[in-house]
A and B are shown apart, each in its own frame.
Chain A
Amino acid sequence: MKKNRRRSHLEPPVTEEPAEQPAAESARRRLRRVEEEPPPESPVIGALSGQLPPGVPGGSGAIVTDAGRYLRQAARDEAPSRFGSPAGDVDESARRVWEIAFGLMVRRRFDPEAALAEISRTVAVAAHDHAAAGLALLDAEMLVRAALGESVPVGDIDEGVVIAVHLLLFASLADELALGDAELDAIIAEAEEKASALMAVCASVRRPAPPSAP
């Protein structure tokens, strides 16, 4: 009974359906239930995450996620991996934090109409500084230009390359701008907060509204 009431909240209102065979109806309901339920999220145990810890509000200006701390290490050249991507697993929220932090840093360094030569020079310096990572120059340049809002071909860049560019270019730009610890932390904390808000919006779009209390 309770199950039926719950489902009635999830389903769109149905108007005067013709009578159906009971077996066909129950099969259809099972199918619909499967379609309605969001895919089970399977967080990788031990993966580096960008999710705010439970009970910790964002916006305090302090770095509170593992992804944020890793990014800070990368910016200060203290990360365990020198190839950009961390050695272990990385979840979606961590990638989101790094992408947003990269975008914030890029827009702090360049105007949207910055000369391409200026961007290329910065990318070349970053690639030189992090030569061990073997950054692809044009991939990195395209990701910078995309972060500035330009329509450029960034399709099918490997996920590992994207992470490496986000982390290492972030580090290089922080160095180029000579950011102090407090400024660096503020950018990362802002990225954590924005990523958290974005993930919450994405989750609410994916998940149907919970049934209201009786």
Chain B
Amino acid sequence: MGQTGTLDKAATAAGRLILEALGEERPARSLSRLIDSPRAVRLLRELFTVAVRRSFVGRESRDVTRYVRDLLDYQSLPAAGELARETEAMIRGAIGEPELAHGVPELRRFELICHVVGDLARPPGVPPAELFALVDQAEQRVARFDRPRNRVVGRRAM
């Protein structure tokens, strides 16, 4: 696991669950098992936004296409069709083109978030301190957006 140093630094139980999953051998699969925890799923969505923005904002948009191809190839998933387009739509949706991801079904969104977060935020590629900062920022976003004054009526928590 190797995350004991950062596990106790996460403020929330959901944060600790995610850190634990990221420390597993197959992070994407471990993250996908959190689907029954609404708080973990909510936090995971914000972690996806934070991780994607830190990785891709300011870079050439075609880097996203290349990254998706590499990621899906590495995961032995089909990289030339709909899955690749949906993954690109999710990533570009998080960095300023939200309309692209409107057609992606909810369950598929969750699967793709697990794959991308499991890749972008997995240790040892991301040092523990940086990983903690990512989760902390995601927790702050959850707290900010879930304040009563910021809540969007009818918005479904994933």
Contact = CB atoms under 8 A, between A and B. Distances in A.
Interface residues of A, number: 16
B61 A153 contact: no
A153 B80 contact: yes
A136 B65 CA distance: 17
Nearest to A142: B85
B82 A156 contact: yes
Nearest to B92: A138
B100 interface: yes
A203 interface: no
Contacts of A153: 65, 68-69, 79-85, 88
Interface string B38-67: 000000000000000000000011100100
Contacts of B99: 124, 137
Nearest to B99: A137
B18 to A, nearest CB: 28
Interface in A150-209: 150, 152-157
Given A152-B65, A153-B85, A155-B80, A136 B97 contact: no
A68 B99 CA distance: 33
A116 interface: yes
Interface string A132-145: 00001111001000
Contacts of B69: 153
A138 B65 contact: no
A156 B82 CA distance: 7
A117 interface: yes
A73 interface: no
B22 interface: no
A138 B81 CA distance: 12
Contacts of A117: 61
B61 A116 contact: yes
B100 A155 contact: no
A122 interface: no
Contacts of B134: none
Interface in B99-146: 99-100, 103
Which of B79, B82, B83, B85 has the most CB atoms of chain A within a 10 A radius of its CB? B85
Interface string B87-102: 0110000000101100
Contact of A155 (B60, B68, B81, B97): B81
Contacts of B85: 138-139, 142, 153
Nearest to A153: B84
- Interface pairs A-B: 6 shortest CB-CB: A155-B81, A153-B84, A116-B61, A155-B80, A156-B81, A153-B80
7 contacts: A136-B103, A138-B89, A150-B65, A153-B69, A153-B82, A153-B84, A157-B82
Given A137-B99, A155-B81, 12 more contacts: A116-B61, A138-B85, A150-B62, A150-B65, A153-B65, A153-B69, A153-B79, A153-B80, A153-B82, A153-B84, A154-B80, A155-B80
